Chain A
Amino acid sequence: MIDKIVPSAAAALADVPDGATVMIGGFGTAGLPNELTDALLAQGATGLTIVNNNAGNGDTGLAALIGAGRVRKIICSFPRQADSWHFDRAYRAGTLELELVPQGNLAERIRAAGAGIGGFFTPTGYGTELAKGKETRLIDGRGHVLESPIHADFALIKAERGDRWGNLVYRMTARNFGPVMAMAARVTVASVHELVQLGSLDPEAVVTPGLFVQRVVQVPRSSTAAGGFRSAA
């Protein structure tokens, strides 16, 4: 029998080692798996490399992990937010390494890892600071940059509903990075608000097929609030 349901977030994350690369889903706070990041903080693993679109909001979740000094490096597209003070402080103190990646390259590098692609050429970032030192190639007359896959040991993602095989559906824009991160990690832990009987998710509408998910944890539904930008060009 296949049963990926684990009783708690703590149980789902008990074996995250120090130095692990951990993907965390979410864009702003939509799709952020708050209960899983809280459990990761409580679990104590340190020296982590975190992959997330942002770099934490307020004093909870990823921001709390950074504040507690657990994060060695962050790979993200948009660290600077109105309420990213934990990131700002650690970055300025030089205790947190930042790998800044254009958002589409971030998504595609994660997807590539999950799809077994060894790298890809993309026009995004060509001729900019973020392509410095990277191999480039002219393809059909247009400059492209070679980008590498991003693999992870763990992915923490949030979905709306799931079953014991790990099949997932999401809710609106909370889907964001969840499906690609699920593919790219050795162990994907999904929090869901509803656990449903096997066979009751519409197979035509399953977004993440269960093989990409190793552990499913049910958490109570809670409201989210989006973090805003400090400034925008």
Chain B
Amino acid sequence: MSMNKWTKDQMAARVAQDIKDGAVVNLGIGMPTLVANHLPAGREVMMHSENGVIGMGPAPPEGEEDYDLINAGKQPVTLLPGGAFFHHADSFAMMRGGHLDVCVLGAFQVSAKGDLANWHTGAPGAIPAVGGAMDLAIGAKRTFVMMEHTTKTGEPKIVAQCSYPLTGVACVSRIYTDLGVLDITPEGVKVVEIVPGLSFEALQAVTAAPLIR
């Protein structure tokens, strides 16, 4: 079955629409970093990275990398005017203390209650690594998840209960997938937007939790 899907850049652009002027934002490693490329012109945000920088700018031109100035993914970045450095305990106080407006994270699974699984598959022999994922998930005022709607083999990633080890409990507020935008609400998973040409029923068919309109 073929269906319309948003590309990763279209997903990133859709997330970027929801980031308000003046917001303090942390973008997770991987797909969420694309969001920075799609912020509408004139929107000023403060980008935070867990390794002790706020006011982070784009990647430097080739040849101007400075590996003392990197992001959480250990890629070289730049500092915007107004940016600042701080140590790790302060950086995570910014998260845990609720000072970030939005964080955008990737996910393996999100449950109907907003539980997030994104750090460990739990597979035997897999080496666990958590980094800042658990702190970020519960720290920001709003936690956005950006992920494909299903796995590569077509399994739903929005589920009644996560089967992967949890990163955080009831921490996700909104999910952006290649098929739509969904809110975690006390009543359940509410569809905010569907990719053009896809029906509610077709979206429900690839979602393992009841959707509400």
Contacts and interface: CB of A to CB of B under 8 A. Distances in A.
Secondary structure at the A interface, as helix, strand, loop or mixed, is loop
Contacts of A30: 51, 67-70, 74
Given A130-B134, A227-B74, A107 B91 contact: yes
Contacts of A98: 128
Count class of interface residues, chain A? 35 or more
A28 B108 CA distance: 24
Interface stretch (A13-21, A62-70, A118-126, A194-202): A118-126
A127 B111 CA distance: 14
Contacts of B85: 170, 172-173, 175
Interface string A56-99: 00000000000000000000011110000001100110000010
B67 A177 contact: no
A16 B106 CA distance: 42
Contacts, number: 171
Contact of B52 (A87, A105, A128, A173): A173
A99 B212 CA distance: 42
Contacts of B129: 77-80, 100
A79 B120 CA distance: 13
Interface stretch (A1-9, A33-41, A42-50, A218-226): A218-226
Contacts of B73: 228-229, 232
A108 B70 contact: no
Contacts of B128: 79-80, 98, 100
Interface of B: 28-30, 49-53, 66-70, 73-76, 79, 85-89, 91-93, 95-96, 105-108, 115, 118-120, 125, 127-135, 138-139, 165-169
Interface of A: 27-31, 53, 77-80, 87-88, 91-92, 98, 100-108, 110-111, 122-130, 143, 170-180, 207, 223-229, 232-233
